[in-house]
Amino acid sequence: MTTDVMTSGPWPEPTVVDTEAVALAVVRHEGMRIEGLPAAFDSSYGPVMVALQGAGLHPVGAALAVYEGDPMAEFAVEIGFPVDRPLPAAVELDGVHVTASGLPAGRLAVVTHVGPYDELGAAWGRFMGWVASQGLSPDDRYGEIYVTEPTPDGDPNLLRSDLFLTLR
Per residue in 106-153, pLDDT (tens digit) is 999 999 999 999 999 999 999 999 999 999 999 989 999 999 988 888
Domains in the chain, ordered, with CATH?
1-20+104-168 (3.20.80.10), 22-102 (3.20.80.10)
**For residues 48 and 52, what is the distance between their CA atoms, to the nearest angstrom?**
6
Distances (CA, A) of 120 to 21, 62, 90, 131, 164: 25, 17, 31, 16, 12
How do strand 91-93 and strand 96-103 relate by DSSP bridges?
A: antiparallel
What pLDDT, on the 0 to 100 scale, is given for residue 150?
85
* Mean confidence (pLDDT) of the chain: 93
Per-residue confidence (pLDDT) for residue 65, from 0 to 100:
97
Distance separating alpha carbons of residues 168 and 153, to the nearest angstrom:
41
Q: CA 90 to CA 25: how far, in whole Å? A: 9
pTM above 0.85, yes or no: yes
Summarised one tens digit per residue, pLDDT across range 1-34 is: 677 888 888 999 999 999 999 999 999 999 999 9
pLDDT band of 81, cuts 50, 70, 90? very high
